[in-house]
Structure 1
Amino acid sequence: MTTPETRPGTTPPPAPTALITGAGSGIGRAVALALAGAGWSVVLVGRRADALAETARLAGRSDDGPEDPAALCVPADVTRPDQVDALFAAARARFGRLDLLFNNAGTFGPPVPLEELAYDDWRTVVDTNLTGAFLCAQAAFRAMKEQDPRGGRIINNGSVSAHTPRPHSVAYTATKHAMTGLTKSLSLDGRPYDIACGQIDIGNAATEMTGRMRTGILQADGSTAAEPVMDAADVARTVLHMAQLPLGANVQFATVMATAMPYIGRG
C-alpha cells in the first residue's frame, strides 16, 4: 500500500503498518528492515524477545513506547490461538489498523528419511508453518474487514519447495504445498473486503536456516553438494514491492532464488 503524497500545509497521512512473523532473524528481519526503511510502522513478532529487540535496533527503532511509536515487539508463539489474538490486539491498540501481514514464521524440521520422521517433529513443522500462518491470516482478515478504510494485504512466505521437494523434507514440503492452497483461498475470500493475498517462493536465501546449503546438502541423485545462496535483502526488496502496490493490484506468486541453485531441473 503506497503512502499518499502530502500537500504543503496538510497533515501527513499515518504510516502504513506491517506485522511480520519470524521477525527476529533471517528473511523476517530483512523484510522488517526494508519496510521500516520505507517508512512503515512495524510489528515484530517472534519467540525471542532479545532477537526482536535487535531487529528493532537495526531498523533504527527502539520500541520505547511513545518515544518511538513506529515499532512494536511482541514475543509470541503463532501456533497458539490465544497468543495470536493477543498480538493482533496489541498491534491494533498501538497503531489502530493493519495494512500488511507478512506470514513468515517457519521451520524445516529434521532432514531424515520419511520413515524415521517422528510424529512430534511432523506436528511441530505443520503447526508452525501451516497452522500458524492460518491463525495469523484469520486474525488479519478480521482486522482488515473491520477497519476504515477497509482492506489490506497478506503476503505468505512459501518456498520453492511449494513446487519441488528436496530429499528428506516431507513435512516442510507438505506444508509449503498447503501454503499455496492457503494463499489461493485467502485471495478468493478476501476479494469482497479489499484484502489482497500473494505468495513469495524463496530459494536459497542466506539465513541461519540455510547454512548447511553452503557446506553441502543432499541432492536428489544421492550426492552431497554445496549450493549457491543469495542475500536475504534481495528477497526483502521483492516483498517491499509487493507490499507497496495499491490494493487494486497484486503479485499473486513470485519466485526469488539464487540464480545458479539447482531448482530448475531439480531431480
Structure 2
Amino acid sequence: MKSILITGASSGIGRATALEFLQAGWRVGLIARRAEVLQDLAQAHDNAMALPCDVTDAGAMQAVFDSFVAHAGRLDVLFNNAGMFGPSAPIDEVEIDAFDQVINVNVRGMFIAARLAFAQMRRQDPQGGRIINNGSLSAHNPRPGSICYTTSKHAITGMTRSLSLDGRAFEIACGQIDIGNARTELVDDLNARILAEDPKADLMPMMDVADAARSVLHMAQMPAQANVQFMTVMATKMPYIGRG
C-alpha cells in the first residue's frame, strides 16, 4: 500500500486531498494543528492516521514523521500543503510580525516537512519518493495586497527547483502544484474581504476543491521515471492569464 503524508490536512485543499487518496486506497498521514478534526477524519477511515502537530515545530514534526513511517513502513509521497494567506494590504500597512508569521508557516514549515521527507526517502529501501509542494498562482502573478503570501510562494518555487535537482541522486522527485481559486475556507475569506470593501463586487470564479485534489493524486501516481514538475489548475474564468 502506497503511503503519503499531508500537511494542513484538517481543512481546504489538504482535507480534500486526504479524502481523494484514501478513496484511492493509500495509507494517509494527516498533519495539522486541530487534533479533534484529524481524529474525526481518521476514525472514519481505516487507512488514515491522525498526527496533530504544528508544522513550524521541528521537534514535533520529527516525532510525527517517525510515528507514521513506523506505522506505514516507508514514505512514498509528501504533499507539502500547510500554509496561510496573512494580511491583505500594501507593504507599509503590514506589521513585521504578520510578515514573520506567514514566512514561518509557508516557508520554514514547508522546509521542515521537505527536509524530513527527503531524509526518509533517501535512507529507505528501496530508496526514493516524491515531494509535492503546494505553490500558488501568486508564485507567478500576484494579487493586489498580497506581499506576504506572494513572497512566500516565490520562495516555494525556488525550494521546488532545488529539491528537484538535489533529489536526482536519491530517486527523489519534486513537483509543484499551483492552484487557483479552489473553493476553500481561504478563498471564502478572500471573498468576504472583497464584499466588505464593496458589497456589490463580483466574486471570484471558483472551482470545486476536489478538482485540485485529483490533480495532486495524478502527480503522486506518476511512475518513478516521470515527474510533473509544475502544474497549474485553476477556475477556468479567473483573471490569471493577462492580469496585471
Normalising by structure 2, what TM-score? Answer: 0.95
**1:213 Cα shift?**
4.5
| Paired position in structure 2 for 1:34 | 20
**1:72 Cα shift?**
1.1
| Paired position in structure 1 for 2:39 | 53
**1:215 Cα shift?**
5.1
**1:55 Cα shift?**
3.0
- Counterpart of 1:89 in 2: which secondary structure? helix
| 1:158 alignment partner, one of 135, 138, 144 | 135
| Paired position in structure 1 for 2:64 | 87
Note the aligned Cα RMSD (angstroms): 1.5
| Paired position in structure 2 for 1:21 | 7
CA distance in structure 2 between the aligned counterparts of 1:103 and 1:212, rounded to whole angstroms: 22
CA distance in structure 1 between the aligned counterparts of 2:219 and 2:119, rounded to whole angstroms: 21
User: Which is higher, the Rg of structure 1 or of structure 2?
Assistant: 1
Q: Write the letter of the residue equivalent to 1:184.
A: R
| Paired position in structure 1 for 2:226 | 249
1:136-175 mapped onto 2 (5 Å cutoff): 136-175=113-152
Q: Write the letter of the residue equivalent to 1:84.
A: M
- Counterpart of 1:18 in 2: which secondary structure? strand
CA contact (8 A) 2:5 2:75 kept: yes
| Paired position in structure 2 for 1:12 | none
2:215 matches 1:229: no
Q: Write the letter of the residue equivalent to 1:167.
A: P
Q: Write the letter of the residue equivalent to 1:29.
A: R
2:53 matches 1:76: yes
| 2:178 alignment partner, one of 191, 198, 201 | 201
More helix by share: 2
- Counterpart of 1:140 in 2: which secondary structure? helix
**1:266 Cα shift?**
1.4
CA contact (8 A) 1:155 1:199 kept: yes
Q: Give the number of aligned pairs.
A: 240
CA contact (8 A) 1:23 1:55 kept: no
Normalising by structure 1, what TM-score? Answer: 0.87
Moved more, 253-262 or 108-117: 108-117
> Aligned residues: percent identity?
57
CA distance in structure 2 between the aligned counterparts of 1:116 and 1:215, rounded to whole angstroms: 20
Instruction: Give 5+ residue unaligned stretches, structure 2.
Output: none
| Paired position in structure 2 for 1:264 | 241
CA contact (8 A) 2:139 2:153 kept: yes
| Paired position in structure 1 for 2:29 | 43
- Counterpart of 1:184 in 2: which secondary structure? helix
CA distance in structure 2 between the aligned counterparts of 1:101 and 1:80, rounded to whole angstroms: 17
CA distance in structure 2 between the aligned counterparts of 1:91 and 1:212, rounded to whole angstroms: 32
Q: Write the letter of the residue equivalent to 1:39.
A: G
Cα offsets for 1:203-240 (capped at 9, x unmatched):
0000000104545639xxxx954111111100011110
CA distance in structure 2 between the aligned counterparts of 1:18 and 1:212, rounded to whole angstroms: 28
